[in-house]
Structure formats: structure tokens, C-alpha cells
Structure 1
């Protein structure tokens, strides 16, 4: 561990939890405007669906002001801190256990997938709330006044607790390659940097341990984000369609992810349906994952773990 004195298992878990939460909040706040526009494009908002990235940003500002870029961000932070905290903390624990069983690359990939699934299981209802709030447009019909009101209304009008898990299965399916590839790609690139590019990518800690410099962490994280998003994006579209089905004009009320997937492909095609908003997702995901990993690595140095 990155400390000159031993760190107890309890302290390591708590510190990795805190470091992960901070990393997630920094990453999501950095890309919140892009994240909101992505949701509006994915869900084919009447106001924004015909616009591209530049036009979408301009329209959000004209219709809602600068606050429009951060609509739903409060719900996002409520979800993101525990989500990222659980994901990074559980990744460290899964990796430790699985590598003790078999020291292979597949174990790192599996550790990332399990960490992503664990984080989703604990925080998915907050993702539904955040998507609903982000989809609302100022000046149009406002269904929800805030996080608590959204919870109450969805629970009362859409079938109770099950309503908060619409789109859960495709989310888990998408999380398996997304989280797995994110962590695996970052760890692989990190190892390559520490092995072959020591002089330009690493810095030595107070106890002599080599760590990635922030620019190197950002680069490795950005590549990891691009790889993971490319593979998992279609299932992300299906997830958003299911989460927003009750409030979007074109909402398909099918509750099975395969039926929603079929509906999207039949109506819009593979590229126009499953990869709608993909370009903006690259602009969003690459810096988001980059900032997330870089901040986590920095927090590990600060917390000496």
C-alpha cells in the first residue's frame, strides 16, 4: 500500500470509499452539461431531439439559462457519491480476493464488472430520479418539483418500488462490459506506463513508490472511457428509454428490455436508434472517466493508501 506505515483493512476500505466518492463527484460535475444533453437526445425530447451538440447547448441556454445545464445535478450528486464510492471500494476488495484465487488478467476484468454491478444495485433508484429531473425542460409541463417529490409521485403513480427499477436489467448487462473494461483498460495502461514510460509518466511518493502523474492518469482514464463506452452504449440507450417511458411522448411502455431494444431498432434503425447521442457521449464519457480515475489516484496519494 502507498503508505510508510501499515494501513488497517478497515481504514483502507473507508479511505478507498471516500476517495471513490470524491472522484465520482468531480468527474460528474465536470461533464454535467454534456450528460444532460445526452439524456435529452437519447430520449428524443421534443424540444431538443432535432438539434446537434452545438445547437443543443445553445437551445438549453436560451430556454433555461445556465442552470439548465445542471438540471438534475443535485439528484446526480446524491447518487454519484455512493455509486462511485461503492464501485472503487468494492473493486479494490474484489481484486484482492480474486487475485488471491488466481493471478490472471481475467480476474481484473471480473473485479471491475462485479464492482459496477454492486454499485448499480445500491444506487439505481437515484439514477431513475436523476434521469426524470434531467429530462424536464423549463417552461414546459413540470412533473416533478425535486428529488423527494419525484420519489413520491413515481411511487404513487407508477406501481410502487418496482417503478424505480425499470431498465435495471439492461443496466446490469451494460455494466458488465463497461465497468469491467474501464478498470481493466486503465489498470493495463497504468502498468504499461509504470513499466515502459517511467520517466515521463510517473512520480515517486515519499515512501519510494511509483505513481502515475496526473496527465498520465487522465490519458489512461480517457482511453479506458472510450473503450468501455463504445461496447456498452446501446444498452445505455435501452436503459434510458425504459426509465423515461412514462413521461416521453414516444414512450414504449414495454417492461422487458428485449422488447424495448426491438422497438428502438425497428423504428429508428441500429445506428439511428442504438447509437443516438453517441458522439456527445464520447465528449462526455472520455473526460468523465479520465477525471474519475485521475482524481481517485490523486486521492489515494493524499490519503496515503
Structure 2
């Protein structure tokens, strides 16, 4: 009898062990991951965001450069007059490489910026959703468009602040031309020159309008994109949804709509930011200062002063200089960024989704 009891206990112990292992496996499948797995997933998410930013900005680099040139050029010495004429002028005076001037610095900025932005959005949205579920006492509650706007704004501020010096330098590299009196030879030379001639604070010129502008811009991008996706999946319009998944074309359209809304609302702040970044540039390009008797350096004491002087001397329309090439650029740029992000995450096997 004792032998049978021992065998029975042994059998029960074995069964118990198997059950425990099965439960652990189930938990693992449901998302209880080891720390190393979580770190790997974070790294993959950052890589996906970085690739998305680099691909999307390089695809529209000529339009990005033209937009900045239109934003900051001296109104008394017009060189770039419209999208088509502006692109032709750059090609004629600077060649094919001129269309991509400043893109290296832009990618050096946008890759970490995009990585941090997408990752910050996922973290912020999860945190906000958790607090919202706790407050409403509803574990099935989902993010509302307003909450997505808040998560997107947080992500935009964090990413923009972390990489702002690169944006400031990129603006100056983009504006300088072959005839500029002094040439920044590259990213690091520009950084060191600005630090030496203008001081550390110069690297954050235009930061305030950037913070104010990034709230509606990035916030609306994420809010509109996610809300459109959710609406399409729930309403299931004919041919747009298959097995609760949107096609790449449909997601591109959602991204395009998100980009259009965001950039239209925030654009005047982007113009002011660019102009403030040019203040104090000792050997500014003629695009900014003009040439001959038209030389007139930009002088602003702050964001409000920049708004006031721009509207007073150039009219309200000056706040939307470069909007056309930016509109042509931002729609495919935002769309490509969102879709590239999700495609790269699929390739890398990241389980976190933007909409989770």
C-alpha cells in the first residue's frame, strides 16, 4: 500500500508539474515576456520608427528644401517663386545634388526623432489608456480621439526636444547656397560653428513655436490616422477591409488625410520657427539677407515679435509661405512613414501595434 501511495503521489506531482508548465507557456503566449524579450521588442520598435522616418523624408527631400527656402527668403529679393519654378531654379543653379542639400542632416535628425516619436506614442497611449480604464472602471474602454491627440502631443514634444539642435542646423544647411558668404561644411562643422559664434542657446532658437506647433501637428497626425483606421475597421466599407485588416493603399490614404489636417493647422508656427532659427547667423545666405542694397538681416526678439513683424511687413499670407510644396510633400511623407513603420514592424516580428 505504501508503494502504491508513493506511486500515486509521484504521478500527481508529475501531472502538477506538467500543468504548471502548460500554464507558464500559456502566459508567455498571452504576453508575459522575459525582460530580454521586452528589450528586444523595444529595439525593434525603435528601428522601425527610424527606418520609417528616413525613408519618408528622403522620398520628399527636394520639396522639403524648397519649402524652407520659401519660408525664409528675403521678400525684397525673391529667387524662388512657386513650386515648379523653385525646383527648376535649384536644378539650374545647383544641379541634382542641390535638390537634396541638407537631407543628410535631416535624416540624422529624423531617424532618431521618428524612432523616439513612434515609441513614445506607443508608451504614452498605453499609459493614458490604463489611467482612462482605471478612472472609468471599464477594462474594455478604448482610446478616444482626444486621448490619442494627447498621446501624440506627448510623443511629438519628447521627440522634437531630444533632436532640436539637429533641426536647427539642418535648417541652415538647407538654406545655404553655392554663393553663400560662408559655408557650413557639414553637420558637425555647423554645430561647432553655431556653438562658437552664437553660444549653446542658439541651438534652441525657435524651440517655443516648435513645441506649440508640434502639439496640433503630431497630435492630430496620430489622432486622425488611428481614428480613421478604427472607423474603417468597425464600419467595414465595401472592399476596404479584409479579415479586420486594412490594405496598404487604404492605410496610405489614412496617413495622407492625417498629414493634411496636421500640417494645415500648425504651418504658421513652422514658418516662425524657421525664421527664428536664422536670426544671429553672421554670414547668412543671400536667400535670407538679400543681395546688394536689399540686404536686411532677420531680427526678432521672440516668437510674438516674429509673428508681428512677419504679418506687418509681408502680410498674413507670409505665414503660409511654402505651404504648396509642403502640402505636396507632407501627404506622401506622413503616409509613407506610417505604412513603412507598420511594414517594418511586421518584418521584424514586433507584436506591439500603434492601435493597441
TM-score (norm 2): 0.79
CA distance in structure 2 between the partners assigned to 1:142 and 1:47 by the alignment: 19
Note if 1:185 corresponds to 2:215: no
Q: How many residues align?
A: 296
Distance 1:38 1:4, change over 3 A: farther
CA distance in structure 2 between the partners assigned to 1:9 and 1:270 by the alignment: 50
Match of 2:337 in 1: 292
CA distance in structure 2 between the partners assigned to 1:40 and 1:178 by the alignment: 21
Post-superposition CA distance 1:166-225 (Å, at most 9, x none): 000000000000010000000011112212236633455xxxxx4322111110000000
Whether the aligned pair in 1 keeps the contact of 2:278 and 2:298 (CA below 8 Å) is no
Structure 2 gaps, min length 5: 1-27, 133-141, 290-295, 352-356
Q: Which residues in structure 2 correspond to 1:79-228 (within 5 Å)? A: 79-102=109-132, 103-105=142-144, 106-158=146-198, 160-197=199-236, 200-202=239-241, 210-228=244-262
Of 49-58 and 260-269, deviating more is 49-58
CA positional deviation for 1:253: 2.5
Distance 1:203 1:130, change over 3 A: farther
Note if 1:265 corresponds to 2:311: yes
Match of 2:323 in 1: 278
Note if 1:252 corresponds to 2:282: no
Whether the aligned pair in 1 keeps the contact of 2:156 and 2:219 (CA below 8 Å) is yes
Match of 1:207 in 2: none
Higher Rg of the two aligned structures:
2
Whether the aligned pair in 2 keeps the contact of 1:241 and 1:251 (CA below 8 Å) is no
What SS does the aligned partner of 1:51 have?
coil
Post-superposition CA distance 1:104-153 (Å, at most 9, x none): 42221100000000001100000011110000112443431111111111
Match of 1:15 in 2: 44
Match of 1:41 in 2: 70
Match of 2:136 in 1: none
Residue in structure 1 matching 2:106, options 59, 76, 90: 76
What is the RMSD of the two structures over their aligned residues, measured on CA atoms? 1.9
Distance 1:203 1:303, change over 3 A: farther
CA distance in structure 2 between the partners assigned to 1:149 and 1:200 by the alignment: 53
CA positional deviation for 1:100: 0.7
